[in-house]
Every structure is written in structure tokens, then in C-alpha cells.
Amino acid sequence: MTIRISGTGGALPDKILTNSELEKTVDTSDAWIRERTGIGARHIAQNETVASLAAEACRKALSDAGRNAEDVELILVASTSSEMLLPCIACQVQSETGAVNAAAFDINAACAGFLFALQTANAYIASGIYRNALVVGAEVLSRIVDWKDRSTCVLFGDGAGAVFAEACDEEGMGIRAMLQGSDGRRGVVLQCRAGHYTETDHELFPYKDPFIHMDGSEVYKFAVRTIPECIEQVLEQAGLKACDIDLYILHQANIRIIGSIAKRLGVDEDRFPHNLEHVGNTSSAAIPLLLDELNKSGKIKRGAKLVLSGFGAGLTYGACVMRW
């Protein structure tokens, strides 16, 4: 028993912040941001919250799958930027969508969070505990970005993506292989202190403000070394070669990272779709948002072989191979 994705949904805040607008508030340029990252604009939440974006994405995923909220048995929300510590985002989504029969909880594995949540759903469904799940990545990173720090504020955006995943016993279809990993020893390279802490200081935690701090080049090196190896391992588990895959749906952090991973795998960059030009890095929402764009525009055909892979704070990483 495995799972397949039978519906996708996405939600983006109305407000768009372009690189040119950022030029007016920090010492940066549209040219630098595009050349070094590939990002042109990002959406910024104003009235939207992590939960409202997640709920909108879930409603669309349910509609795409042709299912009712009451059918949902599990809601998993991956996020790092909830406005609320309690209740968890997944319970807020349950309340907003009317998925009254579901168990609901959150997962924090930063930009790899959606893949961790998908693997958790897979484990629950494969073991027979539940038959389906809404799996969501949702972020309002603009709340935890230091808008005076040009090394991070130009990168991130807000949004949510959701999938409806259900049990699949069709031979060869659905998730074929999954892998996830973490290297907590290197967590210092990407940190954000919780807003409610005031005093505790620690050598592993040098920042006093509740904003994202990142050693970008360390995360970059981690991604381009770890992700090709991780993808090669899941391909081997699935009995496939890199050239067999139709689309690689990667975490949308930096177009140069995506290009480097393509090169290391020896696969043409055409098979690595991206949307970071208009949404930026939306952390755990990046993979499901891109998946939704591709699904809704008919770019993923039934039977297509896909690799999903992400990496981020923790450090965390993961990949999966699926047949659509």
C-alpha cells in the first residue's frame, strides 16, 4: 500500500512585492536579486494568516480531488511561521474547512517540512490507520524576516500549498520511494529565535531578535552536495535512473541551486520547472505550490514520473519518487 495525490490547491496573499519596490527600502537591486537567486517578486500577507492561507489551499485541493471536508481523516500542516503557538495550524485549518472527522497536527521541518509531512501521511496510510490526508505547507515568513537585512529579506515570500493524498493500491502508481534526513549539528547556519523568548542566551543561539538569520553560502553548499545524493538514493530505491524522471519539483530557494543539482544529476534543466520568479522562497509551501501550478496547468500527465525534493533549516532534507 502506498499513497497517491488526487488533488492539489494553492493560496497566495493578494499583495505582491517586486524587487524594484525592495530597492527603495534596502540596499539591493533588481539585477542582483535576479542574477543571484532568480527571484523577481514575492507575495506578502496583510490580512492573510498562515492558517487562512492553508485553509484556502486545502479547500482547493479537496475540490480538485472531488472530496468533501467530512471525508478527511488526517490534516498535517508543515510550517515554521505560525502566528499562534496554540492551537496548531492544522486544528485551525480543521475549524475553517469543516473537516470535523480528521485528526490534525503540525510538523516543523522548515523548507523540507512538506516532504516530512508527506512521508508521515504515507506511513499512517500505509499502516492502515487512516485512508487519506490533507498535507499542507504554509508560511507567512514575512513576519519573521528582518526587513533591514538585505541578505535574507529579498529571498522569502508567503503562501500555502496543499495536496489531498489517499491510499493507492494501483500497481506502480503513487509514491514509489521516500527518504528524509536531518543534520542537527549544522542547525546554527539557519536560525530564528521564537518571539516569546526574552533572556535565554546560548552559544548555539547567538541572536536575540525573533528574525531569520542565515549563512546563505553554507546552506547553498549543503543543498548542492546533499540533494543530488539524496535524489540518487531514492531513485535507486525506486529502480529508476535520473533520466527516467519527467519532472523534478525542487524546493524553490535559488535558481542557481536548481541548476547545479540538475547538472550534478546529468539531467536537462528543462525538467526542473520553477516558480520562484513570482513567489520567492516560500519554505514549506514551495513544493506543494509548484506542484499545484503544474497540475492546474496540465503539465503533469497521468503516469508521469516525478521527483520531489527539499532542504532547509535544521538542517533537514528529503526526497520522494512518485508516479502521478
User: Which residues lie near ligand UT7 (CB under 6 A)?
Assistant: 28, 32-33, 36-37, 111, 150-151, 154, 190, 214, 216-217, 219-220, 223, 253-254, 281, 283, 312
CA 107/CA 74 separation, integer angstroms: 13
Respond yes or no: is residue 111 known to be catalytic: yes
Amino acid letter, residue 140: V
CA 74/CA 260 separation, integer angstroms: 36
Respond yes or no: is residue 196 known to be catalytic: no
Residue 86 CB, nearest approach to ligand UT7 (Å): 26
Closest C-alpha among 321, 151, 174 to residue 244:
321
Nearer to ligand UT7, 87 or 210 (CB): 210
Angle between the N-to-C axes of helices 89-97 and 50-65, in degrees from 0 to 180, rounded to the nearest 10 = 50
Contact indicator for 44, 278 with CB cutoff of 8 Å: no
Active-site hit among 251, 274, 295, 320: 251
Closest C-alpha among 144, 157, 141, 162 to residue 54:
162
Active-site hit among 111, 168, 230, 320: 111
β-bridge partners, 316: 182, 312
Q: Hey, what long-range contacts does 191-197 have (CB within 8 A, 24 or more apart)?
A: 191/313, 192/80, 192/144, 192/313, 196/85
Nearer to ligand UT7, 32 or 105 (CB): 32
β-bridge partners, 10: 161
Q: Characterize 40-79 residue by residue with b for buried, 16 or more Cβ atoms within 10 angstroms of its Cβ, and e for exposed.
A: bbbbbbeebbbbbbbbbbbbbbbebbebebebbbbbbbbb
Residue 228 CB, nearest approach to ligand UT7 (Å): 15
Q: What is the DSSP string of 47-103?
A: S--HHHHHHHHHHHHHHHHT--GGG--EEEEE-S--S-SSS-HHHHHHHHHT-TT-E
Respond yes or no: is residue 251 known to be catalytic: yes
Residue 276 CB, nearest approach to ligand UT7 (Å): 10
Residue 256 CB, nearest approach to ligand UT7 (Å): 7
Active-site hit among 88, 281, 295, 320: 281
Residue 288 CB, nearest approach to ligand UT7 (Å): 15
CA 200/CA 232 separation, integer angstroms: 41
Which residue's C-beta sits nearest to ligand UT7?
A: 216
Residue 111 CB, nearest approach to ligand UT7 (Å): 4
Residues annotated as catalytic (active site), given as ranges? 111, 251, 281
